[in-house]
Structure 1
Amino acid sequence: MKWTLSPRTRAAAWPGRRPGLLLSRGQFRSLCALALPLWLAACRDSQVVSYRIPKEHDTPAPAPAAPAGMAGLAVAATGTGGLEWTAPSAWQAKPPSTMRKGSYAVGGEGAAGADLAITAFPGDVGGDLANVNRWRGQLGLPPITEAELAAAFTPVTANGLAMKVVDLTGGAQRMLGAIVPQAGATWFFKLTGPEAIVAQAKSAYLEFLQTVRAAPVVARASATPPPAAGPAPDMANTPVIKADGPGLKWTAPALWQEKPATAMRKATYLVPGASGANSELAITAFPGDVGGELANVNRWRGQLQLPPLTAAELPATITRIRVNGLSVTLVDLTGGPSVRLLGAIVPANGATWFFKLTGPADLVATEKPAFLAFLQTLSAP
């Protein structure tokens, strides 16, 4: 049996054959093998394939909607400025965590129960309105105004402490929260869970608040040696809580290696040295003044095992500069012969940003010009 194709098809399939020639069965099969994929593609339903390209961020993704506590900062659970409490026997203490001062499972079984989180943070953490609206946002509730704030609070006094308690319900979830200022810090006692369980636990929660008290001061013996050197807790080990207003932008030197984004920091850079040693730049941000300049400088000094400064000594240890309309406070600290810290404190849009370069003293000294040049790129949108 013979098959006949049009002259144009034969010319395209076998250049050089004369028009009018017949194809053998084998030649026709070869042609079909070539044409079949094209025919199938033409008959297939058309589809649009989309690809999601990650958006570039100048800061890592923020912390989850229900962020962990703020215990990574230098606010003691006990001792000077700390608080202590007595939890009901029915509450089950959860394993210790660097993210919380205390944590308890309340009522229910497993995930069905409520959770009490106790956290602390230097300063006012943006103020009462910001804190209440942060909690409201976690329950999917709209923010309130300053004029509405007073009606949202129930004042409670316990053992000389002034507390402000809120009771919020969002959908099937309910939250009881207490804000407790103490010794330059703010403590948060937040009970969250299914509405029915939190309602049942409210009486025990209010009784629990009555046990909260200032912890006794524990003096350290003068002969006790200082703790071993090492990276002390820093804001970079604490979830970054979003502040109102836009963030900051910057341009890092090409040799600095940006590390993967985390919820703990706005950004992190590895600064390599010629000898194989590295230093690190940590960028963090928090609402409010985070306790003020003196508290923040002394926190950094404590990380290098340096004694704290007094308010009178602070001006001589800092340098103030202006960068693109921003006020920047510079700190240069050396702890012993081997560790150095360059820090910048930058208030912006109701928050405080911290840029901290730490590492071997010789490497940080080499990188100081690059660090100062980097700060000159800071800008607020």
Structure 2
Amino acid sequence: MALLLGACSEEEIRTYRVASEESESPVVAPSADGGASQDLSVVWHAQEGWAEEPAGQFQLAVYGLGPDLRVTVSMLPGEAGGVAANVNRWRGQVALDPLVASEITGAEVPGFEGEGELKLHELLGESGSGILAGILRLSGETWFFKMSGPVDELTDHRSSFLTFLASIETKEGSGFGDQGPPAAKSEEPKKPKIDFEVPEGWTVGEESPMRVASFRAAGEDGFQADIAVVPLPGDSGSILDNINRWRAQLQLEELEDENDPAVGKAVDGPVGTYFLTHMKSEETIVEDEFQGAISAAIIKGDKYTWFLRMSGEARVVEANRSNFESFVESVRFP
């Protein structure tokens, strides 16, 4: 190991740039007292027993269904970053891996007769938390109706949430008219810019719509580690939420305190303060084939949260830990 780490410090470094245009951040609509305002293009009807609560800055309405279950209503102009980006942001909050855009289709909402396109997305995390979300796409704006809380409570209240979605009314002319919903663009969505230096020995990995870059590090016995660079719009969940999502993948217990040393540490680097974590499964995973490990960095920017993650067989991940930390330190935003 000492020889390996010594050699890593003198390795030749290759420089990569992933370039594209950065999209504008959406402007959040002002909140409306009482929820179903007649000045809005959508009217919703809270179900019996839902207690109205004060709405936050980015919310039009909030309802409580007990101490742990909440329903929120919000709206953003335009496409609001796209359905896939929002669904994957929620998946991260409930410890689920992101999906490619083609896998995020949603389900029709029985009984909905308003204009526009309303789809239900059910995100039930293995960690015990979940989200039921209705995304309503209208001409010029996107609406989000979301129920979040423990999975067992979501299951108990699923039918009332579906009734709530079916009761949504849209004002005449707020849909897509005869043109239908905006067609999905055939070209790849533009991705934000990032520069970094890739250590010698890492090879280019498989492409993915969610990644701006992908690499692989090989180890012994055919094992390898996967390195991913993924930007997600906005805040994309708390540090603790993301750490616990990765811990769930390694079958590790959920952490409750963000100050727990196992969470990781904040590091001052060239791009500002970022968060660095290392974790390893306590037992073998993937059908008892090997022990897994994850090294990851979270860099929160103005418009995106960047996730740099190395995962795979523990020996390969640990052997490349120094390379990974150098890789993170090399990040620059043009």
Larger Rg: 1
Alpha-carbon distance in structure 2 between the residues aligned to 1:363 and 1:67? 35
In the TM superposition, residue 292 of structure 1 has moved relative to its aligned partner by 0.9
CA distance in 1, matches of 2:85, 2:111: 17
**Counterparts of 1:327 and 1:183, CA distance in 2:** 30
Matched position secondary structure for 2:199: coil
Letter of the 2:18 partner, please give it. Answer: D
| 1:341 alignment counterpart | 294
TM-score norm. by structure 2 comes to: 0.51
Q: Percent identity?
A: 22
Partner of 1:93: none
**Amino acid paired to 2:104:** M
State the distance in 2 between where 1:302 and 1:74 align: 16
* Displacement of 1:299: 0.8
The answer as to whether partners of 1:69 and 1:119 remain within 8 angstroms in 2 is no
- Structure number with the higher strand fraction is 2
Distance (Å, rounded) in 2 between the aligned partners of 1:120 and 1:286: 20
CA distance in 1, matches of 2:83, 2:190: 10
Rounded Cα–Cα distance in structure 1 between residues aligned with 2:248 and 2:221: 28
Equivalence map 1:223-234=2 (5 Å):
none
Cα 1:269–1:70 change in 2 (3 A) is same
Shift of 1:288: 1.7
Instruction: Say which SS state the counterpart of residue 195 (structure 2) adopts.
Output: coil
Give ranges in structure 2 of 5+ residues lacking alignment: 1-15, 24-78, 95-101, 125-131, 150-164, 182-187, 285-290
Q: Say if 1:357 and 1:115 are closer, same or farther in 2 by CA, change over 3 A.
A: same
Whole-Å separation in 1 of the counterparts to 2:111 and 2:134: 21
Alignment of 1:134-145 (within 5 A): none
Provide the residue aligned with 1:149 in structure 2: none
Listed as ranges, the gaps of 5+ residues in structure 1 are: 1-55, 81-96, 108-112, 123-160, 170-174, 200-239
Select which of 92, 99, 116 maps to 2:104.
99
Match of 1:183 among 137, 148, 165: 148
TM-score (structure 1 length as normaliser): 0.45
Distance 1:327 1:356, change over 3 A: same
Structure 1 letter corresponding to 2:210? M
Q: Pick from 18, 22, 26 the counterpart of residue 58 of structure 1.
A: 18
Partner of 2:225: 279
Give 2:315's aligned residue.
Answer: 362
Deviation of 1:286 (Å)? 0.9
In 2, are the aligned partners of 1:271 and 1:280 still within 8 Å (CA)?
yes
SS of 1:358's equivalent in the other structure is: strand
Q: Which has the higher contact order (CA 8 A, sep 6+)?
A: 2
2 CA distance for matches of 1:119 and 1:262?
22
**Residues 266/181 of structure 1: CA separation in 2 closer, same or farther (3 Å cut):** same
CA distance in 1, matches of 2:89, 2:134: 21
The residue that corresponds to 1:249 in the other structure is: 195
* Pairwise CA RMSD: 4.7
User: For residue 177 of structure 2, what is the aligned residue in structure 1?
Assistant: 195
**Pair 1:309 & 2:255 matched:** yes
Does residue 379 (structure 1) correspond to residue 332 (structure 2)? The answer is yes
